[in-house]
Every structure is written in C-alpha cells, then in structure tokens.
Structure 1
C-alpha cells in the first residue's frame, strides 16, 4: 500500500488525537515511512538512462550503418557492436522541432498546434499544459533528470515592456533580444517539462542559453546575435566551436556527481548537442581529421565527445545498469561532402546542398537513401538508432523492425514499470521486446512528414507519399527492393496506394486510436 504525505496530513488534521486516534496516527506514519523506503528501494533497482540525440546527423554517417562512410566513428560503432541497431527507424519528421516533440511526448507532431515546420524565435511551448513528457514520466518514476544542449520546443521569455519579444516568430531579426528581461526566469521551458537540471538553449537563432530557468549565457553564432539586448553584462558569451565541449563537460560532471551521491535513485541524462547542424563549428583540433570535409570533421568530433561520456560511465559501477540510446532528430542536410566540396558556410536551404556523385572521394551522409533534411524521402526521415544495455540487450544485433522516435516514451515506460494512462503518448508503442532482441512486429506503420507538411506512410516494405500541390496522384515505393526510392510503382499497384492513402488519413484524423494500428 502506497501512503502519501497528503494522506498523513489529512489524517492529522481530522484526528482528535484520542487514544485510538493516536495509535491510528502512529500506524499510519509507520506505513507512510515504510512505503517511502520501499519506493526508494524500488527506484534504486531501475536502470539509469542516457539518451543521446544528434542534430542533423545522417543515416549513412556511422560506419556501422554505412561501409562507405568516410567519417571514423569508433565510439558509436563500438556502441552498435555492443547493442542493437535498428535499420528501419524513423524520426518521423525531417526537421528538428517536430521530431523532438515526438520524442518528448510520444505523439505525432501534427496533433499539436504546430502542424509543420519548426518553431521560430520565442514561440510558445509546443507541449500542451499538463501534457506528460518523457523526462516528467521518468521523474515520476523516481529518476533524477538532466538535459544538456538543445530544446527547441518553445518557452515563454520575460520582456521589459510586457510585449512579445523582438523578433517573435522570425528566425533572424536585427533587434533580437532588444526587450528581453535577462534578470527574470523563462517559463514553460525544459525545467517546467520535467528536467530538474538543464543547461542549453531553446532555439539557436534566439542565442540565449538557460541554466535551469535562468538566462545565463548566449551562443556566439555566425548567423545570429544579441547586440540589441539590454542588461547583458552578466551574460557569458560561448563561442560556437566551444559549445560541444562545454555540454560534454557538464554532462560528465552530472554523471560524476550521480556516481558519488549517497542518493542511489536512477538518473536520466539527455545529451542533445547542436552537432552536426550548421554552422559547422568544428574545434581547432578536429579540423582536417577526416576525408569528408568540415562536415565529416564535426561528426568525428561528436563521436569523440560521446566517447568521453561513455568512458565516464564505463569507469563507474553503474555501467551494467544503464540503458544507452543514440539517435538523430532527422537526416543530414548535406547529400554529399568531401575535401573538394566547400561546406563551410552553407545556408539553411535545401537548394544549396543537393546532389551526389559516386566518386570514392565523396561522403554521403544519408548513405544511398534519397533526399535529405526537410524532405519526405528516406534520407530526411530515416535515422540511425542504437540501444545498449549490458547483459540485457544482445550484442551486435541489427533489427529491421519498424521503429519511430515517438516509441521511446512507451518503451522506456515499460522498462521502468511506469503505466502510461490511455490518453497519453497516443502514438507511442512499447518496443521493449525488440530492444531486448525478441524480434516482434510491434508497429505496423509509421507516418512520416516533410518540413512543409507533406505526409507519407511506411507500412511493411511499402511507402506511400501523398501528392503535393503540383501532383495529381501520390507515389508508392517498395523499399525492400528500392531503398533509394527511384522506381515509383503507384500505377502498377494503384489499389495498394489507395489503401495506404486511406489508412494515412485515418491515422491523421482526430478520431484515431493507436489500438487500430496493432
């Protein structure tokens, strides 16, 4: 029986403390403290969780996924050799905000107020008031939660004049930060959504870095600045090529503190660096380290920093009781990189980075998949997804089962014995059996989406893409035979295309229940 503090308080307030009431109070208190002790003991046996989410890293960047990769990724390759790698895992949107929403809520982003694209500067939280999040779920399960890096799910910033922040709804504004009140805390950010500890920015183009709810620093960005801001004397300016190092240092400090702490409650570490997103802010010591150009150098640096975090875990007594998850929020924006290709200062625009050749001196971040970030193609929505849990997950296994980033919430919920309510994480499936190598077809379909809202449906070997404004009919591909989506079979299999079109509409409707998809 679980007794709450509220129950004890209520009993004390009602009790007249006669002889029977006094003894009843003593019994209730004993039950309460026994319950607390049992809850602590239960929590201490739960696995720790480290979730690493790269930013714009492609399916073909890791050598464990792409034999032809020109980027050395020894730490992530080692992680793959010690765990399970999913080869049909999806974001499920080809840009960061909606994919992070799917991860944090277990819900497709088209069900939120933001139907497509990413959040612009200072827009409010994409997560509804009271909506359960992944870190909040783990917090309720007894975890100490911490996040470092990138949020990009919205927050409410205080202003000096009570008006909306300058540049609201834009990605670049000359007067960015002009009326931000840097002396007051933000609201509805990572801390209010479940992170007890947070250090990082909400949106890179805002520049502001928060520690907890307080604005303490700003990212020195090539494209954006805070020149117009007032009262920023206490604000630390972080060079963009030092940000990854700083996040790594803070993540390691958090782990070290947890390992030393007498409090043995489990921890959840969310490491979400701004890498290899543009600008390609590579540290000096990694410039020229790969044959894949500046982009490849940045991926190699990310791999190195992930290695430092994993080494910290490996040297602790918690290494065997920690689940490690690695994923990317969407595909790479680059279709090709190399020493002969200048990717140093690309714009955040698809037309600047399209095209690939077959030369051995080229690196293809998305492998042989078609497309890139922003697009509906596999190169935009398919991601590397690796999970390790010593002695629980088989080593070196590759799974072709369908998986979506929104499944993380239900899966971890099952692994930590948290019962999700029926109306929570409605697009999240418990894939714990697949994590453990049992190979079950848990998910039948995945809805995928481009940055402009075009949708598709992956079902079995098939992928249907709805027509855009310039098309009369959709597209259909057999990914088992045509992973690069080069042969549209909509005319040959028109009925199948119509069936998948209907199913896509059913899933995206407001009346949809995930029980229909089992």
Structure 2
C-alpha cells in the first residue's frame, strides 16, 4: 500500500476517534421536535394504519417510545409555555391561547430551557411556531434564543399590524406595507419572521416544513463543535394543512397524511445530519406533539385512537400524545416506557443531563432521566399525580391507573389500565377513590394558585 495513503488513513481514524471522544465528554446537544395537533395514533409505531413514518419508527427502534406521555394542555399556547418552563400553564400565566396584536405572553423573566442552557454557553435556536406572545418583549430572542425563524402564532391567524418589518421584506399575494399596517383580520395570511422582523407576508405555507428543516440543518451544522439547543416547533398539522409538491398525494391518509409524512422526512434529514457530522451519540433528540388532534369530519384532522376525545378536551385524546426519544449509547434501543411522563419534565431532565441550574421558583416537572435511559424506575409523578388543566380550571387528575374528571359537576372515574378509551365511568362504584382524588385536585389547585410565578 502506498505510504502516503497509509498516513492519510491513520490520520483520518485518529481524527474520527478524537471527534468521538470529544463528543462523549462535552455537554450533550438537545433537539426538541414539537408538532402541532398531531394525534396519538398518527405515527407508525403508535398504530397508524395509513400514514407511513419510517424515520420516526426507526427513531423509536434506536431509542425509546412512551405510551403514557402527556402535553400539559390540550391547546397551543399553554402547552408551549409548559414545555419551555417545566410548569403547568396557570403557574406561568399562560392558561389560554394567545392572539396576534393582543397584550400578554410568556414573561421574559421566566426561566426557559433556552435561558437555562445559555448559562452553559449553548447556542440556541427556535425554528417554527412560537405562539407565546408576538409583542417585542415576548418574542423568542428575549426568551434565551439566539436565533428565531418562523411564524409567531398559529397558521390560521392573521398579522400584527404593528410588527417590525425587514427592509428586505417579501410581499406576496398583492400585499403591501400599507395592507400589512391595516387593522384588518386576514385569516390564514400569516407572517414569516426572522429574529424580531417580518421577512415575508403572507408566508408561502406550502414551503414551511421544507424551510424549517433547512434552517434546522444549517443551525446544527454551524454549531457542530459547540453544545446547542434546537427547538423545532412545526406549524403543521395545525389547520389549514399545507405540504410541498413532493409530498402531495403521497399518503394513503390524504392531505393530513401527506403533512405527517413530510414531517417524518424532516426528522430523517435531522437524524442523518447528526450521523454525518458524527454527533448523533452526543445528541438527545425528542419528538412529541403539543396536544391531540382536531375533531374534524373532512379528513383533515388526526386520530387519537384508541383514546377518547380531541384537542380542547381533557379526555386522554386531547392531552396524551406520542413521544419518542433517541440518544445513541445513552438510551437503550427499542425501549418502551409505560410510566406517566409529560412535557413539563423536559426542563428538569435537561438540567440533569447538562448539569444546569434551575430557577428557585416552584415548578411542576420532574427529572425523568431514569425513565428515558431505560433504568427500572417508577414515574416521579406517582406520588403527586398528573393534572389536566383547561385554561385556569383543573378538570382532572391521573393517579396511577385511576383518572378522575369533573366537568360541570359531572363526575367521571376511569381505570386507564383496563379502559384506555374512557368508556366505563365507574365513579358510583368507587366512592372512596373519587373522594381521595377530588381531595387531591382541590389541594393541588389551591397550592398552585397560591404559588404562581410573580415578576
């Protein structure tokens, strides 16, 4: 063999080994992929009969899938506030959906995951849907994110006429700066922002998943040598549904399926990028949804089967969501976790794996690293239970296999171990359990409202 070729091969292998060694000793990268209104069943490994998700299925094969994982709300803004702060929505002052050009949002004095990781010198980016306030003081760049690219709220909304506008803004569909500045609601015509400026109005929504993916891949590539946190919050499958030309008609599940399959493609691109850069063994990747699917009869909504209920509801279908996580070498491949966990657990878990300091203010999330890493462990929510808020009203609690739901004085009790679809209300037959769980609801709600975060 040519002597020069031997030297080149040895240098390459030494460099590759060095990269791997560095990746194992440095702080882990964190990626959270958060979809919008995706149903519990709408992934292959969760039983979807018509939607093909080979990349998510492969991610589950290389990592862990949770069967009893919850968002902290059944609607958009509260679920996002909870994910980033580790708290139930009322504790951090975001119990309702936020609308364009209205006061209110997630206080920039809250400690977000991004804020926390900045103290550890992480590069941070938010790509996609924000929906935690579109006033300047609430935008991602005031919440710990170095970079923002996306839509500031849901894709069926309008535009804030007071938005800061880029000098190079692209206007489409006949819009002008004058029409943007008008106090007129134009549903489904939403702005694309970069940092704190509108760069396109209205955005071409057929290109969003592709563009978000490109931004995500670029951010990962640019920060491959330093720890990074990427929060990729897809606009879809919130209605109205859009997909690029390459995915139209691809799914057996119609347009909704096309949208999910394009998101699955996006996940594949991100995972491949991590592998190519040699950092997949130092990156925790999490995939989940903000809440359950719309209850639509036109085929444009998802499926929460076998769960009961939809978005806007505190039945399981409104808040139990798919969750898949991968971290090669740290999470046991092919694992399945049947313990209770939630998006509120992300912040304390990420604090644990990155050795970061949390706020001294009370939060609701728990460190679930033992569950993620496949060690035999019970849910840290086992003692306290998991609570289902609808806006500022606490409607339900899950305690072990039992779930008590009280809405407008209707008392419902279900044993989720043998009645996952919440078909058999057994409240009358179990008065002691009802009494115990009602007491827990009242005590927890009182405590939370006495200990809301104040700034």
Name the TM-score, length of structure 1 as normaliser. 0.73
Which residue matches 1:246?
Answer: 211
Which residue matches 2:143?
Answer: 193
Q: What is the alpha-carbon distance in structure 1 between the residues aligned to residue 144 and residue 42 of structure 2?
A: 31
Which residue matches 1:60?
Answer: 41
Which residue matches 2:223?
Answer: 258
CA contact (8 A) 1:86 1:400 kept: yes
CA contact (8 A) 1:207 1:220 kept: no
Comparing both chains, which one has the higher relative contact order based on Cα–Cα distances under 8 Å and sequence gaps of 6 or more? 2
For 1:286-323, what per-residue CA distance to the aligned partner results, in whole angstroms no more than 9, with x for missing partners? 12111212111111111112211211111112111111
| Pick aligned residue for 2:406 from 466, 470, 488 | 466
CA contact (8 A) 1:149 1:273 kept: yes
Q: Larger Rg: 1 or 2?
A: 1
Give the CA RMSD over aligned residues: 3.1
Q: What is the alpha-carbon distance in structure 2 between the residues aligned to residue 91 and residue 210 of structure 1?
A: 32
Map residues 402-417 of structure 1 onto 2, 5 A cutoff.
402-417=340-355
Which residue matches 1:151?
Answer: 130
Shift of 1:201: 2.0
Q: What is the alpha-carbon distance in structure 2 between the residues aligned to residue 113 and residue 419 of structure 1?
A: 22
Matched, 1:488 2:452: no
Q: CA separation of 1:211/1:415 partners in 2, compared to 1, >3 Å: closer, same or farther?
A: farther
Map residues 261-410 of structure 1 onto 2, 5 A cutoff.
264-334=225-295, 342-343=298-299, 365-410=303-348
Greater helix fraction, Structure 1 or Structure 2: 2
What is the DSSP-based 3-state SS (H/G/I as helix, E as strand, rest coil) of the residue aligned with 1:195? coil
For 1:391-428, what per-residue CA distance to the aligned partner results, in whole angstroms no more than 9, with x for missing partners? 1110111101110111000001001111324325x101
For 1:438-488, what per-residue CA distance to the aligned partner results, in whole angstroms no more than 9, with x for missing partners? 1322112111134684621011001111122xxx34211000010000000
Q: CA separation of 1:227/1:453 partners in 2, compared to 1, >3 Å: closer, same or farther?
A: farther
Which residue matches 1:500?
Answer: 437
CA contact (8 A) 2:125 2:231 kept: yes
Q: What is the alpha-carbon distance in structure 1 between the residues aligned to residue 336 and residue 94 of structure 2?
A: 34
Shift of 1:228: 2.9
For 1:104-163, what per-residue CA distance to the aligned partner results, in whole angstroms no more than 9, with x for missing partners? 111100223343x3112223453234211111101112211011001101132xxxxxxx
Shift of 1:69: 2.5
Name the TM-score, length of structure 2 as normaliser. 0.83
Which residue matches 2:200?
Answer: 236
Q: What is the alpha-carbon distance in structure 2 between the residues aligned to residue 209 and residue 312 of structure 1?
A: 38
Q: CA separation of 1:370/1:139 partners in 2, compared to 1, >3 Å: closer, same or farther?
A: same
For 1:78-128, what per-residue CA distance to the aligned partner results, in whole angstroms no more than 9, with x for missing partners? 10111111111100211111111110111100223343x311222345323
What is the DSSP-based 3-state SS (H/G/I as helix, E as strand, rest coil) of the residue aligned with 2:41? coil
CA contact (8 A) 2:165 2:198 kept: no
Q: CA separation of 1:219/1:466 partners in 2, compared to 1, >3 Å: closer, same or farther?
A: farther
Which residue matches 2:12?
Answer: none
For 1:180-211, what per-residue CA distance to the aligned partner results, in whole angstroms no more than 9, with x for missing partners? xxxxxx33310100100111122132447999
Which residue matches 2:7?
Answer: none
Which 4+ stretches in 1 moved above 6 angstroms? 41-44, 208-216, 218-221, 224-227, 231-234
What is the DSSP-based 3-state SS (H/G/I as helix, E as strand, rest coil) of the residue aligned with 1:270? strand
What is the DSSP-based 3-state SS (H/G/I as helix, E as strand, rest coil) of the residue aligned with 1:315? helix
Q: What is the alpha-carbon distance in structure 1 between the residues aligned to residue 388 and residue 357 of structure 2?
A: 27
Q: What is the alpha-carbon distance in structure 1 between the residues aligned to residue 398 and residue 171 of structure 2?
A: 38
Q: What is the alpha-carbon distance in structure 2 between the residues aligned to residue 276 and residue 230 of structure 1?
A: 29
Shift of 1:219: 9.8
Q: CA separation of 1:489/1:225 partners in 2, compared to 1, >3 Å: closer, same or farther?
A: farther
Shift of 1:44: 7.0
Q: CA separation of 1:270/1:399 partners in 2, compared to 1, >3 Å: closer, same or farther?
A: same
Matched, 1:126 2:105: yes
Q: CA separation of 1:451/1:317 partners in 2, compared to 1, >3 Å: closer, same or farther?
A: same
CA contact (8 A) 1:56 1:330 kept: yes
Q: CA separation of 1:335/1:493 partners in 2, compared to 1, >3 Å: closer, same or farther?
A: farther
What is the DSSP-based 3-state SS (H/G/I as helix, E as strand, rest coil) of the residue aligned with 1:53? strand
> Alignment length, in residue pairs?
410
CA contact (8 A) 1:189 1:213 kept: no
Shift of 1:225: 11
| Pick aligned residue for 1:136 from 89, 93, 115 | 115
CA contact (8 A) 1:476 1:497 kept: yes
